Structure 1
């Protein structure tokens, strides 16, 4: 039954007046405390977890003791984000952000390489420019643990129901379509991946089905081109010099190519999130495109324009050029670093990893008409 006073209650981010209760619940969540204890003390947690958990709870309570609003929580996240960036990147750059109006709300449709870090980097650069953070679309497949869902919703994430089917799926997609439009009209920007799942092979391509969803709740009120303009869509290109999950992706692609299938582990997505956050990324660039303003009569036509901007704005790193054999302005040290990367995967998967980094070069050159 939908709450008429709060129709998006089941999927929306938490609000300020819910923060205290959610934090209290987290501090009393055995699974959450165990996960933090294991992360902080991997060697000791197995045998002394019972002793460490109360101490971890006290430490966490001290950190969140003054957190009363979503902004307070995000300021706490920002302190960890700052440390993570200094430890795992050589530099973080951005382009196109000066073309955005801080007072306007946008629907950022982004290429998708990392589960957590793609929207996190978009948020970080906006935060650095004094802009509001965005609401983040996240699939319910990543929220199997209630404490994970709570943390994400405290950080302005909203839930995309991917597990529904049949009529329930149609209802969920219509609600999602309505929520995204509602957020933009309320002055809240949105981050949405251009496709379901990461582009593990390095081919960034927008799924028109995602764009059809944006129109589902509004077909009776306005045309598709009108809805597109109403959402102020901005394509975003995120490029990593090194993908912390590249070996995992290459092994998965190799398994599919060799055996025809790949069986994902129960907590593989969570492991990928942790690896993506803590692993070396080298130089990361976030490129904001132009607001899409043309009359696009179909989702397919709109997808082509989003792809054009994402590919043309994609920043090519030395790793991409080396993989594609276009080694202009590449140093011997950069070549050695990429060779080390290749050694992290089995022989059969090395071609997959190389192709993953090379595809952005090939796609950008194809867009520019260069063979």
Structure 2
């Protein structure tokens, strides 16, 4: 009798599933249509009958030899090179000396960009001799089958935020905790955000509920919180963007919530945020890997505080951050002029919120 795959619904694809996933993508009309609209615009309206089969043929030829997850990752790395060259002024890394090749780490990261945060972490690992991570992604971003296929091909596993009812929620969280624990024990690293959703206000704080979820598997094994969490090799990661391509959209959402009590997200807003984060100008980017947290805590709140201090202390502060915090002496005249030019383009009603999201990391760095 075949062994039941407990994590089949949430885990990334294995090598033997890659070819099937690629064929489903090629056959997916929405996926092909999205590529057609992106590449050919209005021509699709009257030449779609010819363009869509052409795209399918090109993709089949391009992906014909792709049969492993490693090959998918190599393809992503080539795209990353072009993206970094076109939308950043350089990406730097620190703290990689804390890591050992072949060891599984639980990277708990601040979260500013849906797609690029884990992508930059992977870029640093990949180019320094480490294996790439398995990426936690909420099912709210996977409303289309093609999105699920793409994410699971790229080593993403699914966090079922849509789970309803106490029993379903507990099973979902228990499975997630077990999957993370098994992955790490097998030498596979994990990337997960320190809390649900991006820190739109620039305040990077770890939600203890995330840490309680990690511990569910340890609790099941009757292990003390500190003992089990030490096994997970938790590494805080701080990602800093000189410029956030989605800063105006974030400020607008915060404004609407503050002044109208709620914010209605558009049907394709998450996808638009992903695209903006990928193609938008980010300036310089820095990714800091902290030392693994193995002790010094007894409960989720204590561990969350240690993660926060690590992220705040290693956050790379750019001139934009200091200028937004009113510390003009820490920026050159040229940097101050560029900042003022950016601020002038921000609608008046959003400026305080916009400034706050850049200033908050400076404030947090003083609270370590």
TM-score by length of 2: 0.96
Counterpart residue number, 1:145: 144
CA–CA distance in structure 2, aligned partners of residues 241 and 84 of structure 1: 16
Counterpart residue number, 2:92: 93
Counterpart residue number, 1:51: 50
Say if 2:136 and 2:158, in contact at 8 Å, map to a contact too.
yes
Deviation at 1:325, TM superposition (A): 1.2
Q: Deviations over 1:332-371 (max 9, x none)?
A: 332232223223432101111111101101111222xxxx
Q: Deviations over 1:61-118 (max 9, x none)?
A: 2221111100001111111111000000001001001221112110000000000000
Counterpart residue number, 1:194: 194
Say if 2:245 and 2:276, in contact at 8 Å, map to a contact too.
yes
Report how many residues are paired: 365
CA–CA distance in structure 2, aligned partners of residues 49 and 325 of structure 1: 53
CA–CA distance in structure 2, aligned partners of residues 250 and 18 of structure 1: 41
Cα distance 1:51–1:170, how it changes in 2: closer, same or farther (>3 A)? same
Cα distance 1:100–1:24, how it changes in 2: closer, same or farther (>3 A)? same
* Pairing 1:60-75 to 2, within 5 Å after superposition: 60-75=59-74
Counterpart residue number, 1:269: 270
CA–CA distance in structure 2, aligned partners of residues 50 and 272 of structure 1: 30
Counterpart residue number, 1:127: 126
Counterpart residue number, 2:255: 254
Counterpart residue number, 1:306: 307
Say if 1:251 and 1:345, in contact at 8 Å, map to a contact too.
no
Residue ranges of structure 2 left out of the alignment (5+ in a row): none
CA–CA distance in structure 1, aligned partners of residues 302 and 110 of structure 2: 17
Partner SS, residue 220 of structure 2:
coil
Deviation at 1:38, TM superposition (A): 1.4
CA–CA distance in structure 2, aligned partners of residues 264 and 343 of structure 1: 26
Partner SS, residue 236 of structure 1:
strand
Deviation at 1:326, TM superposition (A): 1.2
Counterpart residue number, 1:284: 285
* Pairing 1:1-371 to 2, within 5 Å after superposition: 4-166=3-165, 167-221=167-221, 222-367=223-368
Aligned structure 1 segments of 4 or more residues deviating by more than 4 angstroms: none
Deviation at 1:295, TM superposition (A): 4.4
CA–CA distance in structure 1, aligned partners of residues 126 and 349 of structure 2: 42
Say if 2:98 and 2:292, in contact at 8 Å, map to a contact too.
no
CA–CA distance in structure 1, aligned partners of residues 6 and 79 of structure 2: 33
CA–CA distance in structure 2, aligned partners of residues 359 and 129 of structure 1: 31
Partner SS, residue 90 of structure 2:
strand
What is the aligned-residue RMSD (CA, Å)? 1.3
CA–CA distance in structure 1, aligned partners of residues 44 and 320 of structure 2: 38
Cα distance 1:255–1:47, how it changes in 2: closer, same or farther (>3 A)? farther
Partner SS, residue 261 of structure 1:
coil
